[in-house]
Amino acid sequence: MKHFRSAGAGHLVNTSSVLGTKIRKFAGGYAGTKYAVEVLSEALRLEVAGTAI
């Protein structure tokens, strides 16, 4: 965010997977890491919503 604020704009791209929202047998660890990306991305979106970066 420090870089985006100093630049005045920017894009952040996070790569996840469908397993970030759906669980499959024997993929718990992988799904957990993808869910973490989903949740952190959503939290960041909510934190900066409505701000002029």
- The tens place of each residue's pLDDT in the chain, 53 residues long, gives 889 889 988 888 999 888 888 888 899 999 999 999 999 999 998 988 877 65
**pTM beyond cutoff 0.75:** no
Query: Could you give the CA distance from residue 6 to residue 46 in angstroms, rounded to a whole number?
Result: 20
Q: Where are the domains of the chain?
A: 2-48
d(CA 34, CA 16): 5
